[in-house]
Chain A
């Protein structure tokens, strides 16, 4: 059974870069069937899709985040990663990684990232 686990710093300073990694276990992110996505949820608010990466490294992201998003995949480590640059308080959220084709059927437990000096 595939499991996903997010990891990264819990606090990031304003204007710096948020870096998160999602590690898969019980399955391979080298699958050609799925995309690997990032979704976030600000405190008390709804869900926002950030972007997704394919095993080949091709990516697509939410235009609302402009060019601040960088995603990558490392199939040798069974991991994929997110970098979000120039963070502000508005980027404070729980960040989830998830597997998806159309629906998102496997989610990590989420990691809380707070932007604060």
Chain B
């Protein structure tokens, strides 16, 4: 099973700041890494697929990068509505696995 390790677990950020969340895979997964946002009491919503591909309707301040074992989600110019938990997910091999999550709080 591929283990995804996210960091940090928690981040408290001022609006307009840049946020960087990392996800490290226990073995190479190519670009089969996807990012989700989950707001309180809501289901997850995909933000980025295949490491860096944008999703229609997702604000352009969200971007992703990386390949192999190291991946990054960047929020360039945090807004208050971005307070949420963020998860990475790999679909390279079964079983599908998720990172432990990063909670982003607005200061």
Contact = CB atoms under 8 A, between A and B. Distances in A.
A, B: real partners: yes
Interface of A: 37, 46-49, 52, 60-64, 96, 100, 102-105, 107-110
B87 A47 contact: yes
Interface residues of B, number: 23
Contacts of B34: 102-104
20 contacts: A46-B98, A46-B99, A47-B98, A49-B95, A49-B98, A52-B96, A62-B95, A62-B96, A63-B1, A64-B95, A96-B44, A102-B34, A102-B91, A103-B50, A104-B36, A107-B43, A107-B44, A107-B45, A109-B42, A109-B43
Nearest to B50: A102
Contact of A48 (B32, B50, B55, B98): B98
Given A46-B99, A63-B1, 20 more contacts: A37-B96, A46-B87, A46-B100, A47-B44, A47-B89, A47-B101, A49-B95, A49-B97, A49-B98, A60-B94, A63-B95, A96-B43, A100-B91, A102-B34, A102-B49, A103-B34, A103-B49, A105-B49, A107-B43, A107-B44
A46 B97 contact: no
Top 3 A-B pairs, shortest CB-CB distance: A49-B96, A107-B43, A103-B49
